[in-house]
Amino acid sequence: MSKNYTVADYLLDRLAQIGIRHFFGVPGDYNLQFLDHVIDHPQIAWVGCANELNAAYAADGYARCKPAAALLTTFGVGELSAINGIAGSYAEYLPVIHVVGTPALRAQRAGDLLHHSLGDGDFGHFSRMAKEVTVAQTSLTASNAEAEIDRLLTTALFERRPVYLLLPSDVAEAPLSSRPAPLMLRQPNLSDASLQAFIAAAREKLQAAQRVSLLADFLAERFGAETVLEQWMNEVNIPHSTLLLGKSVLDETHACFTGTYAGAASDPQVKQLIEGADVVINVGVRFTDTITAGFSHHLPSEKCIDIQPFEARVGQQVFSQIPMRDAVKALHQLTLSLARQWQLPAIKRPLLPDPSGSGLDQHAFWQQMQHFLQPGDILIADQGTSCFGAASLNLPRGCRFIVQSLWGSIGFTLPAAFGVQTAEPDRRVLLLIGDGAAQLTIQELGSMLRDGQKPVVFLINNNGYTVERAIHGPEQRYNDIAEWNWTLLPQALGHNVKCLHVGEPEQLRQALGEVHGSEQLMFIEVMLPKMDIPELLDTISRAIQSRNAAA
């Protein structure tokens, strides 16, 4: 028992116990007391961001690489600026621990007219808002702190989603009598009866099949099924694919990996290999509009086995209380023998399309990127031409692909790349972002430079919001943006950065050559034609346009 041990210290020790080593955020006068403890903590480093939305995005990126992430904002102004980022973490299952420094409890109870409040004495507005985009919320006091902190952290880890902790400035400093014992993590329930029934139903379905395929998506990564999935795919030959949101969940160098599946927008062979099977096994898949080109997937549930985080389905039958990993392991064992009777069609990975001319266009760019990629790279592609073009890349082994296809907040990836590089200082991070998207969140480039990070930033300059042009209004003024001098910008935001402007294939080749062994952050402005739209984006955007139109 330490005399000066406080609620702030307990929270930080717990965060360290669950594997958090960095705290992202922006200081504000209601969180400065807590921040003193962050600075003093031996295991956790403070990572100041330029604004709160960027800090939330950075935390989200960090949570994609670590068990969880921590975000600190101040009451009202700070937390609301961050809330779009938190909502994205909620939609895409990232455990971000959002700590909000608030006015002291006595001031809240008195209903004082404080700055950062709405001036009506009601201090509950923002926590009611947070309730919509977090899985647990609490307002800490000296007496509830230990139990509530533990409840929120275990909930965030169990559900893989953000939680919201209000930490009044006086409570942060309140003394506690004990340091934390090891945290008991919550484990998902496994019903053995349910598992046996699932296996029986799956056996029946798979026994009758001649062709079987498998689709994996992002939830397989979020709920820790990647390793068991890989073991399965290594021992049993099943043609398999991912959707865009889950790209890199499966090893793309595997002989049975078919390429990225995207409903009707898939390469015809990929579509045939997946949809043409008698039984399709889905692991951690959510069929959302963009990644299925407007729900154009033809996968009737009768022929699917669907594995979700805590339950599994065979056709319409639901088997509850089966954690994803257990379902995957069970199917692995089950298919070891069954697979012998299945047909294995020939699988030839789709090739990237050839450049249409001698200039630098989307095709030429992605072909060079394909050769540039190295095993272990982390590729982060913004929602737009970047991610839809990158969808066709064949990822080297151990390469990680990060995209935000469901929430789809443009500009997300730049601060997310900052968070990812903070979590993974020794891996090469490649950021692909359009000029329109980069304008939303550009200031975090300054934080990368401040911290000496050396990602490679590809600024795809296609003169405005090309992803919106693809959907609607290709020549409308609202899809134009302010013209920036991109190659001046990085030097304005810091030091130790090299900027290159490439408009021809040969220039791009030279620029990529310079990246190897560079000891600087490389910022490469890639000029691409305004209306040059990757095929996948073209198909998807036509689907979206027709769904948005009047009936």
Any idea which residues carry the catalytic annotation?
A: 29, 52, 115-116, 408, 435, 462, 464, 468
For position 441 contacting a second copy by CB under 8 A, the verdict is: yes
Shortest reach from residue 379's CB to a second copy, in Å:
20
Q: Which residue number, 55 or 199, has a Cβ lying nearer to a second copy?
A: 55
Interface with a second copy, residue 442, by CB under 8 A: yes
Please tell me the distance from the alpha carbon of residue 368 to that of residue 293, in angstroms, as a whole number: 26
Whole-number Å distance between alpha carbons of 525 and 499: 8
Query: Which residue, 218 or 366, is less far from a second copy as judged by CB?
Result: 218
Q: Smallest distance, Å, CB 233 to a second copy?
A: 26
**478 lies in the site for a second copy, by CB under 8 A:** yes
Residue 509 CB contacts under 8 Å (≥ 6 apart), including other chains: 368
3-state helix, strand, coil in the chain (%, to 5): 40, 15, 45
Residue 230: burial class (beta carbons within 10 Å; 0-12, 13-18, 19+): middle
- Other CB atoms within 10 Å distance of the CB of residue 317: 13
Quick one: 312 or 442, whose CB is closer to a second copy? 442
Binders in 49-88 for a second copy, by CB under 8 A: 50-51, 53, 76-77, 80-81, 83-84, 87-88
φ/ψ of residue 26, rounded to 5? -135, 130
364's tokens: 């030429």
Distance CA 318, CA 315 (A): 8
Structure tokens, 428 = 């090469």
User: Closest separation between CB of residue 176 and a second copy, Å?
Assistant: 13
Residue from the set 1, 181, 193, 488 that interacts with a second copy by CB under 8 A: 488
Among 141, 253, 296, 439, binds a second copy (CB under 8 A): 439
Among 185, 234, 295, 317, binds a second copy (CB under 8 A): 295
DSSP for 25-46, please give it: E---TTTHHHHHHHHH-SS-EE
492 binds a second copy (CB under 8 A): yes
Contact 363, 354 (CB under 8 A): yes
Position among 90, 164, 223, 257 found at the interface with a second copy (CB under 8 A): 90
Nearest-approach distance from CB 94 to a second copy, in angstroms: 13
Of the pair 28, 389, the CB lying nearest a second copy is at: 28
Tokens representing residue 148 in the block = 């509530």
Q: According to CB under 8 A, which one of 15, 35, 216, 360 is a site residue for a second copy? A: 35
DSSP 8-class letter at 421: H
User: Which parts of 323-342 interact with a second copy (CB under 8 A)?
Assistant: none
How many residues of this chain bind a second copy (CB under 8 A)?
100
Q: If binding is defined by CB under 8 A, does position 480 make contact with a second copy? A: yes
- Give the CA-trace dihedral at 458, 459, 461, 467, to 10 degrees: 90
Using CB under 8 A as the binding rule, whether residue 459 contacts a second copy is answered as no
Classified as helix, coil or strand, 182 is coil
Q: State the residue for tokens 């647990």.
A: 136
Query: Quick one: 372 or 412, whose CB is closer to a second copy?
Result: 412
* Residues 373 to 432 in contact with a second copy, rule: CB under 8 A: 405-411
What are the angstrom distances between the C-alpha of 255 and each of 35, 52, 275? 50, 44, 18
Q: How far is the CB of 111 from a second copy (least distance, A)?
A: 12
Asked whether position 5 contacts a second copy by CB under 8 A, the answer is: no
Q: Which of 169, 260, 308, 462 binds a second copy (CB under 8 A)?
A: 169
Binding residues among 106-165 for a second copy as defined by CB under 8 A? 106-107, 112-119, 125-126, 128-129, 132-133
Q: What is the dihedral of CA 458, 286, 251, 419, to 10 degrees?
A: 40
